[in-house]
Amino acid sequence: MTVDKGHTNTAFVGDEAINGKKPPQAKTIDPNMYSLEIQEKKPGLEVEYDPYQHRHVEHPTTNNETLIHLLKGSLGTGILAMPNAFHHAGWTVGVVGTILIGLLCTYCIHLLIKAEYELCKRKRVPSLNYPAVTQTALLEGPDALKPLSKIIIHIVNVFLLIYQLGTCCVYVVFVSSNIKAIADYYMETDTDVRLYMLIILLPLILINWVRNLKFLAPFSTIANFVTLVSFGIILYYIFREPISFEDREKVGTMSGFALFFGTVLFALEAIGVILPLENEMKTPKKFGGNFGVLNKAMILIVVLYVGMGFFGYLNYGSAIKGSITLNLPDEEILAQCVKGMLAFAIYITHGLACYVAIDITWNDYLKKNLGDSPRSVFYEYIARTVLVLITFLLAVAIPNLELFISLFGALCLSALGIAFPALIQTCTYWHQRQGMAKVWMVAKNSVIGVVAVLGLVIGTSTSMIEIIHTFGHDE
């Protein structure tokens, strides 16, 4: 599930809700004043500025609370798609690939955190959100990149918006597919999944009319509990039968690996929750470091994802579906309950995930032109409804869970989670590092950038080809 981090330029793009409410945000610079002239050092401000000492958070979180939030921000529908990802890559490549992608994502998160801290020191502000960090870094970097600083905010917002709408599409397909699995068994029919999408459309619109996430908090708490119980039951079904390596591929195809890459990024990447969580900590210095909150959380997350993908694939083999819930036995009440419970939990999550898209669309763009209108609230409801309809229509057009996940993971998270952090570090320290240190930084981040671009291009194109093939075949 996903929750945003504040009023504007939200970068809260995880796959789970953080307590089902919008977390209080440490003070940031005004997103409409990204030029930051007023933040430069002035006479009398020569004493080194420590951003951590100037963050005034109403309810700061402890290390353990932050760890739990980060785990919740990374564990969601993505983990249910991991067995299918291992099917595409092969179980050997799946294990090694998930670990390597996890290491890369973790390293890039560290780059982002350190760069944000350094930029906050220079600009003498307590914290910066993701778009502000990106723009400020470009202003600090090579002269050739400075002209891009004016549009980089919109580029970041576009990636965030596409990803959030894509996540909502995944949720629409997930909820309707699981409802279909239950209904088809008991009604002994094979109804088109699009009909169930139409049935849940009005409830989706209504839940996205909730303007204050505080009212969704109780439902989110229930959804988190339901999700945890459901995962436990799924593990029961995975380990109920003896694990077999027979007819289980060790290595998949290249196109399969591209789909695997996008799926793992979608499932694993929590780049958007990082800055909000770090900004809300009582002891933010404990977030990074070798034994910090981030590394502990990512180790647990990677282990859980490898375990679910590995054992889920060994159990179901090539019969694995886009979500492992769809492989659970239809004739057992317990399995049907899992599908129903997760469908409810993800339905609640749609309101939280779409809140981010609404926040970007309305607060950052539409409100500037319509906010002073006496009908501004009405226009906001129109914007909310239109965004839900967009996710609905995309889901109706391509009701394929695994391809949606792979597409939006490769398209958006290759940029947000890998390429941008490398770019941010390079620009932040462009004038501070000299000699071999600078050469190493540029070379390393260039390699990371190439990996991100390849992942974006190959993963996105492969997913699109598969979508076109599947759609054409269905037609």
**DSSP code string of 394-436:** HHHH---HHHHHHHHIIIIIHIIIIIHHHHHHHHHTTTT--HH
| Threshold 0.85, pTM exceeds | no
- Taking the C-alpha atoms of residue 103 and residue 97, their distance in angstroms, rounded to an integer, is 10
Say if 15 falls within a structural domain. no
- Taking the C-alpha atoms of residue 79 and residue 304, their distance in angstroms, rounded to an integer, is 8
Say if 454 falls within a structural domain. yes
Say if 191 falls within a structural domain. no
pLDDT per residue of the chain (475 residues) written in tens, 0 to 9: 333 333 333 333 334 344 444 443 334 444 444 444 434 444 445 568 888 888 887 778 888 888 887 877 677 788 899 999 999 999 999 999 999 999 999 999 999 999 999 999 999 999 888 889 999 999 999 999 999 998 999 999 899 888 888 888 989 999 999 999 999 999 888 889 999 999 999 999 998 898 876 777 777 778 888 888 999 999 999 998 888 888 899 998 888 999 999 999 888 766 767 777 888 888 888 888 888 899 998 999 999 999 999 999 999 998 999 889 999 998 999 999 999 999 998 888 888 778 878 888 888 888 888 877 788 889 999 999 999 999 999 899 888 878 888 888 898 889 999 999 999 999 999 999 999 999 999 999 999 999 999 999 999 999 888 888 876 655 4
Other CB atoms within 10 A of residue 450 CB: 12
Other CB atoms within 10 A of residue 356 CB: 27
Dig out the tokens for 190 from the structure.
Answer: 């094979």
Q: Where in the sequence is the domain holding 100, given as residue range(s)? A: 57-167+216-328+402-472
Say if 135 falls within a structural domain. yes
Say if 247 falls within a structural domain. yes
Nearest to 269 by CA among 450, 6, 67, 13: 13
Dig out the tokens for 75 from the structure.
Answer: 């564990």
| Range list of H helices, 288-375 | 293-316, 333-358, 367-370
Query: Is residue 47 within a helix (H) or strand (E), and if so which, with residue range?
Result: none
* Cα angle, residue 77 at apex, residues 264 and 252 outer, rounded to 5°: 35
Q: How many domains does the chain have?
A: 1
Say if 300 falls within a structural domain. yes
Dig out the tokens for 308 from the structure.
Answer: 């679910």
Q: How far apart are the first and last CA of the chain?
A: 33
CB 27 within 8 A of CB 41: no
